[in-house]
Structure 1
Amino acid sequence: METIIDRIKKFNAPLIPDMVELKYKAMKQNAFRFFRGTCHLFYEDLQQVKNFPPSPLAWICGDLHLENFGSYKGNNRLVYFDLNDFDESMLAPLNWELARVLTSIYVAFDVLQLKKALADEMATLFLNQYIERLKTGKAGSIDPRTAQGTVRDFLNTVKKRTEKELIKKIMGTAHKKLTIEIDNVLHFKIKPKLKDALISHVTDWLKNTKSWPNNYIVRDAAFRVAGTGSIGLKRYMFLLQSIKNKDSFLLVEMKQATRSSLAPYNKIAQPHWDSDGERIITNKYRMQNISPALLSTTVFKQDTYVFQEMQPYADRIRFELLADNKDLTAVLSDMARLTASAQLRSSGIQGSAINDELTDFAKHKGWQKGLLAYANQYAVQVKADYKAYVASIG
């Protein structure tokens, strides 16, 4: 029988070895970070479950947890709060999505040393708010104009942050040299030959694509590390400078698109995709109210990448800083409604349940109790797996 460390190393074997070591180190931080880095374990284990509550098919992001909600700048240049990671997205039973996000509540609350009773309360709240939104049959969205409470404050802070501030932080003391500061934590050097090839590729791509503004030139590139589950993928960031306005800069990223970690365990027939990059950006477009700025794909050295304007890595709700249960209730309610909205927005597309099926499902009772019980139990399994992982990796 394979151990936890065997299963994890087998999954991560195709990734960049040096970066995988950083991923393993990050996953030691706590059980929630471990959970974020082992989406494949979740679905491998789910496949073995008997009597898991059945549900209609929907487009799901696949790796929904509390830190995969956040802010991003839309292609209309407004800031939105929404689901924001679709690397694992597939057509699947919608209860798979709910099981993962509910489990994340239990795991995260345990790491934050919040009472189990509060985790039960918030998981139930999330599910109830999700159901109420699904019953309406109408998707909603959140931006600074419509947000309330903690999310409103969060988005207003993000909105006030200028692109110049982000650029200055990334460029650091090397600002005058028009280079990305290498800190060997989030930004790493790229070998000269590969760096030249990447810059040449992006330069040519910018000149020839209609989906991006072509009035920028590439000034520098670096390897980027962000998140947890995606550490080990090829991920590059580029500093662009406007040709017309020398004081105008743009940060973009090029992230390798790979097979969804759900794929080995998902028996639902999927549409044909020309690439995993196409799958990812198509599902972003379907599920989000507004797509991220400058979203597209490219192929470099036979690998497909998702291209988009770089999103600030710190723009997540920090649950440890929420003042009281009222704040928690507001944030989790928003997240639940956004989850339902993403499924409603993408309903009736290439095999997903139509709106009527989703609203009808929301009105039925009996599946909620089993789903909450599974999330509760699996959170205990995550904690045990985390302990075994830490003991094995040293």
Structure 2
Amino acid sequence: MDTIIERIKKFNAPLLPDKVQLKYRAMTESPFRFFRGTCHLFYEDLARVKDFPVSPPVWICGDLHLENFGSFKGNNRLVYFDLNDFDESMLAPLNWELARVLTSIYVAFDTLNLTKAEADTMVKLFLKKYSEVLQSGKAYYIDPRTAGGIVSDFLIKVKKRKEKDFIKKIAAPVHKQLRISINDQTHFAIQKPLKTDLMQHLDSLLEKSTAWPNNYEVKDAAFRVAGTGSIGLKRYMFLLQNTKNKADFLLMDLKEGTRSSLAPYNPIPQPQWTSDAERIITTKYRMQNISPALLSTTVFKGDTYVLQEMQPFADKINLDVLAGNLKDMQCVLLDMATLTASAQLRSCGIQGSAINDELTAFAHETAWQKTLISYAKSYAGQVKKDYKQYMAGYKSIKTK
């Protein structure tokens, strides 16, 4: 078998050479950050497992971990806490999603210097809550009105943020005109010909679409780096100005849609999507209670992209802070379990996914849980070993 370095280089070969180095560097931060950036390794290894617990087919986000739950403003302009990353989404065995998120608990707890016993307790509580919600057959959602505990405090704080303050953090005046601040960390300059083409493309979309705010025009664009697994994809951000109210600005995100890393290993037949971008936003619509504002797809220079609004309401709960209060950590994980089950119930019975009755029946079974916990715990140990090998070989993958 290839080494960890060889497997990572092979998978990331199609990404932008200069930006993928940022991904490689980010993955050195911790075993948990490494886990977030190597979803492909997880499924490569899972595909080789014999006697993995059988489970019904459901729509899954594919890369479910503790950092892929967060807040955002829906297209109804309300703030929600939900699953928020669907780049890897597919119709797949239910237990694949659970294995990924349970492993993330073990890896995250180890990274946060919490004990294995504490991780075991949280994993069991997560599965208990998940099963209870799935057994009920009813999907739930979390917004400032329905949230409790630390998530309620989090959403209330997020809701108070102002668009203008968000714009000020990302853009600054240049010759009396507001422009995106280039910091060469998260925002990078784009060569002029490409920048012009990108801005013209978005302006054209605004003019033609009735679903978009056509009273805005594009004023600036930059290359954007965010997340971990997606670093190295073609991704751009745009600053838009209202043509009627010059003090009103909007930020948009344009992200390349690529093949799911589950695809080579997933035995379940998939719908015939027109593009990976369509797959991503369709699964997002199905699994989330309310999807983010201004979500759509577009084609630019032969590549398909997901286009959506950037907003001050998009955020994640700080796990480092929660590590000091296990009661708060438990509240958050129980909410995440509720949302995981709800997303599967919400999208059940669609294009091959199990119907509600099948999911509730599966949740009443318990034999699969012990095996799944054992696998997640064992694989967390494998992640730690892989991270150690990655760090030992990082110099060979790094280029100047």
What interval of TM-score do these two structures reach, taking the shorter chain for normalisation? over 0.9
Preserved CA contact (<8 Å) 2:281 2:295: yes
Q: 1:144 corresponds to which letter in structure 2?
A: P
Amino acid at match of 1:169: K
Deviation string, structure 1 residues 366-388 (Cα, Å, up to 9, x no partner): 00000000000000000000000
Per-residue deviation, 1:276: 0.6
- Cα deviations across residues 342-361 of structure 1 (Å, max 9, x unaligned)? 00000000000000000000
2:356 — aligned with what? 355
Which residue is 1:393 aligned to? 394
**Residues paired across the two proteins, number:** 394
AA of the residue aligned to 1:66: L
User: Which residue of the partner structure matches residue 270 of structure 1?
Assistant: 270
| Residue 314 of structure 1, CA deviation | 6.9
Letter in 2 for 1:360: A
Aligned-partner residue type, residue 163 of structure 2: E
Distance 1:372 1:151 in 2: 26
Q: Deviations over 1:262-309 (max 9, x none)?
A: 000111100010011110000000000001100000000000000000
Residue 230 (structure 1) shift = 0.1
Q: How does 1:1-394 map to 2 (within 5 A)?
A: 1-172=1-172, 174=174, 176-312=176-312, 315-322=315-322, 323-394=324-395
CA contact (8 A) 2:161 2:313 kept: no
- For 1:11 and 1:138, the matched residues in 2 are separated by 38
Distance across 1 between alignment mates of 2:335 and 2:134: 13
2:4–2:389 contact (8 Å) kept in structure 1: yes
Distance between the aligned counterparts of 1:314 and 1:175, measured in 2? 30
The answer on whether the counterparts of 2:75 and 2:290 sit within 8 Å (CA) in structure 1 is yes
Q: What is the identity percentage for the equivalent residue pairs of Structure 1 and Structure 2?
A: 70
Q: Secondary structure at the match of 1:161?
A: coil
| In structure 2, C-alpha distance between the alignment counterparts of 1:57 and 1:174, rounded to whole Å | 52
TM-score, with structure 2 as normaliser: 0.97
Asked if structure 1 preserves the Cα contact closer than 8 Å seen for 2:73 and 2:314, the reply is no
Separation of aligned partners in 2, 1:268 and 1:85: 21
**3-state SS of the aligned residue for 1:263?**
coil
Structure 1: stretches of 5+ with no match in the other structure: none
Deviation at 1:178, TM superposition (A): 1.3
Q: Tell me how large the CA RMSD over aligned residues is.
A: 1.1
Write out per-residue CA displacement over residues 16-36 of structure 1, whole angstroms, 9 at most, x where no aligned residue.
Answer: 000000000000010000000
Please state how far the C-alpha of 1:320 moved relative to its aligned partner.
1.2
1:325 shift after superposition:
1.8
Q: Distance in 2 between matches of 1:106 and 1:192?
A: 46
How big is the shift at 1:313?
9.2
Tell me which amino acid in the other structure corresponds to 1:37.
G
The equivalent residue for 2:398 is: none
- Worse-superposed segment, 345-354 or 312-321: 312-321
In 1, the alpha carbon distance for the partners of 2:10 and 2:313 equals 28
Gaps of 5+ in 2: 396-400
Q: Which amino acid is the alignment partner of residue 283 of structure 2?
A: N
Give the Cα–Cα distance (whole angstroms) in 1 for the partners of residues 129 and 174 of structure 2: 47
Q: CA deviation at 1:176?
A: 3.9
SS at match of 1:18: helix
Deviates more, 1:159-168 or 1:172-181: 172-181
Q: Helix, strand or coil: the match of 1:154?
A: helix
**1:28·1:390 contact (CA, 8 Å) conserved in 2?**
yes
SS of equivalent residue, structure 1 residue 195: helix
Conserved? CA contact 1:129–1:336, under 8 Å: yes
* Alpha carbons 1:79, 1:143 under 8 Å: kept: yes
- Secondary structure at the aligned position of 2:370 is classed as helix
